[in-house]
Amino acid sequence: MSGNPAPLIDPAAAGLSPDTPSSLDKEGAATAPPSAIATVLHDPGAVIGLVIIAFYALVALFAPLIEPYSTVEATCGVFQPPSAAHWLGCDDGGIDMLSLVIRGSRISMLVGLSASLIAIGIGTVVGVAAGYFGGWVDMVLMRITDYLIVIPQMVLMIVVAAVWGPSLTHVVIVIGVLMWTSPARLIRAQVKGLRGRVFVRRAEALGASHVSIIRRHILPQLGPLLAANAVLAVTLAIFNETALAFLGLSDSTAITWGTILEHAFNRAAASAGAWWAVVPAGLAVGGIVMGCYMLGRAIEDSLNPRLRISYLSLRHWQMRTPPHRPEAAPRRGREA
C-alpha cells in the first residue's frame, strides 16, 4: 500500500495537539509524552515547594483549632521572651506570638490567593486578546500594558491604597489590578506562537468561531504557563500585602503578618530587644515566598527545558576555553 500508515493513537483523543511529538514504546506503538504535572513532580524543588505550600495551607485552614492561646486576651507578660509555655514569646500586650502568626496566616494567604486570581484573570484576557487578534487590538492593549509596566508598582499601590483608605478589600483590588501586566505579556507571546500552529489553522478552515478556538485549542495549551504565573503571583501578592500593612495602609484590626510587623515597629520592639515580636512573622513571610518560588520555578523549567542549568554545567561552561585557531598565513603580493 502507498502513503503513510494511519497513526496508532489519535492525538486529539489523547489530549495532544497535532504538532505534539509522541514517542514509541518497545512494541512500536505511539505513546503520549509525559504530562506537565508528572514532569514537575520529578523536580525535587517542586516537591519541596509543594510540601511548604501544603503546610501553610493546612495551618491557615485549621488555625482556630491549633492556636495554643487566644489572640485577643493577654496570657503572659509584656514582651515575655520565648519559654516552654510560649515558644515564640509574647508581644507588648501579652499576646502569644505563635498564636498571632498562626492566625495571621489565614488572612495573608487569602489576600495573596485572591489578588493573584484577579491578576491572572485580567492578564489572561488581555494576553489572549492581544495575541490572538493582533492588529490594532494588540497595539492598544500592549501600549496600555507598557504604560503600567514602567510605573513602579509598589509606588502606585501605596498611592491608590492611601487614597481609597485602609481596607483589606481595597488592598486585594489594588494588588490584583496592578499585577496583571507581566502575565499578560507572557501569555500574549505564547498565544502568538499558538496562533500559527497547524491545529488552529485547521479549526479556522473548518469554520470554528473565535470563541470556540480560544476555548478548545488556545486555553488548554496555556495551562502550565498560567499555573506558573499564578504561583509566582501569590508570592508577589503576599509580599505586597505585607508591605502595605507594614506601612499602615491595610486594616489594622485584621491580624496578618504585615500588621504584626507594623504593630511591633510602632511599639519599638526592636529597640526593646524583643526580637521575637518581629522575627516569627518575617520568617513566615519568607517561608511561603520560598515555597511558591520553588514551585513556580519548577513549572517554568518544565515549560522550557533550556532554562535548566546545573552547577556542573555552569562550571563546565566557565572552564571551557575556545578552540585554538591557527593564524592564517599572510597573503603575498603578486610578484612582478
Q: Which three cell numbers stand for residue 281?
A: 512573622
What integer pLDDT is reported at residue 336 of this predicted model? 43
What integer pLDDT is reported at residue 292 of this predicted model? 92
With respect to residue 155, please indicate whether it lies within any of the assigned structural domains.
yes
Q: For 41-69, what is the mean pLDDT? A: 92
Give the tens place of pLDDT for each residue, 63-114: 999 999 989 888 888 899 999 999 999 998 899 999 999 999 999 999 999 9
With respect to residue 26, please indicate whether it lies within any of the assigned structural domains.
no
Q: For 188-198, what is the mean pLDDT? A: 91
Spatial separation of the C-alpha atoms in residues 177 and 139, rounded to whole Å? 20
Q: For 214-238, what is the mean pLDDT? A: 90
Confidence category of residue 234, pLDDT binned at 50, 70, 90: very high
| Residue predicted with more confidence, 218 or 10 | 218
SS3 31: strand
With respect to residue 35, please indicate whether it lies within any of the assigned structural domains.
no
| Residue predicted with more confidence, 76 or 308 | 76
Separation of first and last alpha carbons in the chain: 71
Instruction: Count the domains in the chain.
Output: 1
Confidence category of residue 154, pLDDT binned at 50, 70, 90: confident
With respect to residue 261, please indicate whether it lies within any of the assigned structural domains.
yes
With respect to residue 320, please indicate whether it lies within any of the assigned structural domains.
no
What integer pLDDT is reported at residue 326 of this predicted model? 55
Q: Which residues pair with 96 in a beta bridge?
A: 90
What integer pLDDT is reported at residue 253 of this predicted model? 86
pTM of the entire predicted model: 0.76
What integer pLDDT is reported at residue 191 of this predicted model? 94
Confidence category of residue 331, pLDDT binned at 50, 70, 90: low
Mean of per-residue pLDDT scores for the chain: 81
Read off the CATH number of the domain in which 64 is found: 1.10.3720.10
> What DSSP letter does each residue of 291-329 carry, written as one string?
HHHHHHHHHHHHH-GGG---HHHHHHHHH--PPP-PPPP
Spatial separation of the C-alpha atoms in residues 237 and 242, rounded to whole Å? 9
∠ CA(111), CA(117), CA(118), 5° rounding?
Answer: 90
With respect to residue 235, please indicate whether it lies within any of the assigned structural domains.
yes
Confidence category of residue 325, pLDDT binned at 50, 70, 90: low
**What percent of the chain has a predicted confidence (pLDDT) above 70?**
79
Give the tens place of pLDDT for each residue, 236-273: 999 999 999 988 888 888 899 999 999 999 988 888 88
With respect to residue 192, please indicate whether it lies within any of the assigned structural domains.
yes
With respect to residue 230, please indicate whether it lies within any of the assigned structural domains.
yes
Q: Which residues pair with 23 in a beta bridge?
A: 31
∠ CA(113), CA(248), CA(167), 5° rounding?
Answer: 50
Q: Which residues pair with 239 in a beta bridge?
A: none
Range of the domain at 225: 56-303
Confidence category of residue 185, pLDDT binned at 50, 70, 90: very high
**What percent of the chain has a predicted confidence (pLDDT) above 90?**
47
Taking Cα atoms as reference points, which of 237, 227, 139 lies closest to residue 188? 139
Contact 267, 92 (CB under 8 A): yes
Contact 89, 81 (CB under 8 A): yes
